[in-house]
């Protein structure tokens, strides 16, 4: 019996020991579970809620309609049209091969490249919930995708469309895939055109199926913009400058047409061009040279020298200058005329574009007088036209002038200007001494209407402006600008031919030039002012009077007829607000 009792006590002790171990083990796991629950439900509650919400709902930003861009006649230049984009939201519960299969079946229909497939597959493997497959596809392709019944999603978007193709492309610019402006008016006024996004909520179940869609905030559409550009005149300028660049082999060319009375730009054309429907364009094509290219204006700048001389009364129309030698010796070398000339009056110096005579005129001025007039004409700063990336014209301070600078500046060298800058300077003469900044925005929807009255800054005496206009009229009637005159219209203007500086030789080239012409018409009551610039033409003819002046004539003649300004008849002009004739592109 004692032995039996001993065994019973032994087994009871072992049982109690096991019970304590099991109890301790259970208590330990219970403690771990409690700690974990506290961690998840108390300390991790906010994070868990976010994860649940993220798995079951998706914020969708509703894109607003981008504003439309019109010309001054109400014709559409840029508009956003409906388009469909294809996306994929794979069921994360499916195995990866099953998620990838629909995309592979779509590849042929959507024209997906191997790189496109690899990118999408990597997103699927990474567990991305919303994957763009192809953005803004054509309606017929969208229908074919739909008929495949692969569970692919669609999102209504919009695609920017430029109905006139290349017309005014450099002014309009372009947008990226998200319809964000990246050049031209599209960039400059992106905040106005793009509007404000709306917000919607898309709810999903555990399998990723959508069961509720709710708009939280409605989008605000972008505002429309009307430009001062006239589509018809833009077409004339664009076709003329493209033809000139092709025929002369020039590196580039530009033509700008404006209203001298208001500074409104009616056309701004640059060649080479591009189609904004195929944006982004080649970098060299998407470059508005009318406002971004700096060049030495050459003889067109003699307008400023003549204005300074008349305003400071250092010359009269009867003063004469001996140009028979054909050259003038200066520090750094001689400067020549383009042909042998005789004794010229002040007016003849300008009309015949004599470098020698103009330098003699400039030498009658003090450095301060010449520099002040250049500054008054707006050189050395931007014009302020409502376009991005306008270049700043380069005017060297007087203290940095060399012994040759005053002579060089007198004939348009040692200064860099943009074509729009030179047109602004010409408009000072057209307005008989008043500077009016150029502008290209006519109105913006929802903003205070802009008046046609532009800020006017008198910089010349009225008599000086009238005298200059008369001299420029002679320059076309009997001087270097003969080829610029449209038949039946008196025209005022100035030719320019500039030797290009060769940076390798550190000298001006005798074989490479910039040819230009700037003028206004009719001379006595200007309705239009135009500048034409051809850079580095590859023809035997190099002079502005030979190459740029005929382009001016073509643009002016077609544009005058369109706006209702006829030789010898009743002229309605631009003030009437409507065209008498319409020549469509």
Structural contact between residues 202 and 187, judged by C-beta atoms closer than 8 angstroms: no
* Domains of the chain, earliest start first: 231-576 (3.40.710.10)
Q: What per-residue confidence (pLDDT) applies to 110?
A: 81
Q: What per-residue confidence (pLDDT) applies to 571?
A: 55
Per the document, the length of the chain is: 585
pLDDT < 70 regions, the chain: 1-11, 39-58, 150-151, 204-213, 281, 283-285, 449-454, 568-585
Q: For the residues of 73-96, what is the DSSP string, one character each?
A: TS-EEEEEEEEEEEEE---TTS-H
Q: Indicate the pTM of the whole model.
A: 0.84
CA 130/CA 113 separation, integer angstroms: 20
Q: What per-residue confidence (pLDDT) applies to 369?
A: 97
The contacts found for 170-173 with CB under 8 angstroms, 24 or more apart, are 170/268, 170/269, 170/270, 170/273, 170/286, 170/287, 170/288, 170/289, 170/290, 171/227, 171/229, 171/268, 171/288, 171/387, 171/440, 172/69, 172/77, 172/78, 172/276, 173/276, 173/286, 173/388
């Amino acid at each position: 019996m004692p032995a039996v009792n001993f065994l019973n006590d032994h087994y009871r002790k072992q049982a109690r020991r096991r019970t304590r171990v099991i109890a301790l083990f259970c208590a330990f796991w219970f403690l771990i579970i409690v700690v974990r629950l506290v961690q998840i439900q108390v300390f991790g509650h906010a994070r868990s809620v976010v994860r649940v919400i993220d798995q079951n709902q998706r914020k969708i930003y509703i894109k607003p309609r981008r504003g439309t861009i019109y010309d001054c006649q109400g014709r559409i230049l840029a508009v956003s049209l409906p388009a469909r984009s294809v996306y994929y939201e794979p069921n994360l519960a499916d195995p990866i091969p099953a998620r990838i299969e629909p995309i592979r079946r779509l590849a042929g229909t959507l024209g997906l490249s191997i790189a496109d497939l690899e990118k999408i597959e990597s997103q699927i493997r990474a567990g991305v919930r919303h994957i763009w497959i192809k953005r803004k596809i054509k309606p017929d392709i969208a229908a074919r995708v739909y008929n495949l019944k692969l569970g692919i999603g669609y999102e209504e978007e919009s695609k920017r469309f430029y109905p006139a193709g290349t017309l005014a492309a450099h002014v309009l610019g372009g947008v990226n895939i998200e319809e964000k402006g990246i050049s031209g008016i599209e960039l400059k006024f992106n905040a106005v055109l793009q509007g404000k996004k709306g917000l919607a909520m898309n709810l999903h179940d555990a399998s990723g199926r959508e069961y509720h869609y709710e708009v939280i905030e409605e989008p605000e559409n972008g505002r429309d913009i009307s430009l001062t550009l006239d589509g018809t005149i833009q077409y004339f300028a664009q076709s003329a400058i493209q033809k000139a660049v092709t025929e002369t082999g020039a590196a580039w060319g530009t033509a700008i047409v404006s209203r001298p009375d208001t500074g409104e730009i009616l056309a701004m054309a640059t060649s080479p061009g591009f189609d904004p429907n195929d944006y982004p364009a080649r970098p060299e094509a998407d470059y508005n040279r009318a406002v971004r290219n700096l060049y030495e204006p050459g003889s067109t700048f003699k307008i400023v020298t003549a204005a300074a001389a008349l305003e400071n009364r250092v010359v009269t129309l009867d003063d004469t200058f001996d140009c028979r030698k054909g050259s003038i010796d200066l520090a750094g070398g001689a400067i020549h005329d383009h042909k042998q000339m005789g004794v010229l009056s002040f007016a003849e110096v300008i009309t015949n574009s004599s470098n020698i005579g103009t330098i003699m005129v400039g030498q009658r001025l003090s450095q301060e007088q010449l520099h002040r007039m250049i500054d008054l004409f707006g050189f050395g700063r931007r014009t302020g036209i409502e376009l991005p990336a306008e270049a700043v014209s380069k005017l060297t301070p007087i203290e940095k002038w060399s012994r040759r600078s005053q002579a060089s500046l007198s004939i348009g060298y040692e200064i860099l200007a943009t074509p729009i800058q030179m047109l602004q300077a010409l408009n000072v003469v057209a307005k008989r001494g008043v500077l009016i900044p150029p502008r290209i925005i006519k109105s913006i929807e929802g903003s205070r209407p802009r008046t046609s009255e532009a800020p006017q800054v008198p910089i010349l005496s009225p008599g000086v402006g009238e005298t200059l206009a008369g001299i420029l009229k002679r320059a076309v009637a009997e001087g270097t600008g003969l080829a610029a005159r449209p038949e039946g219209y008196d025209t005022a203007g100035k030719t320019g031919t500039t030797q290009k500086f060769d940076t390798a030789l550190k000298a001006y080239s005798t074989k490479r030039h910039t040819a230009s012409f700037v003028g206004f018409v009719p001379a006595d009551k200007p309705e239009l002012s135009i500048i034409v610039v051809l850079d580095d033409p590859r023809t035997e003819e190099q002079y502005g009077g030979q190459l740029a002046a005929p382009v001016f004539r073509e643009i002016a003649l077609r544009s005058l007829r369109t706006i209702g300004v006829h030789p010898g008849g009743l002229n309605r002009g631009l003030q009437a607000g409507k065209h008498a004739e319409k020549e469509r592109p």
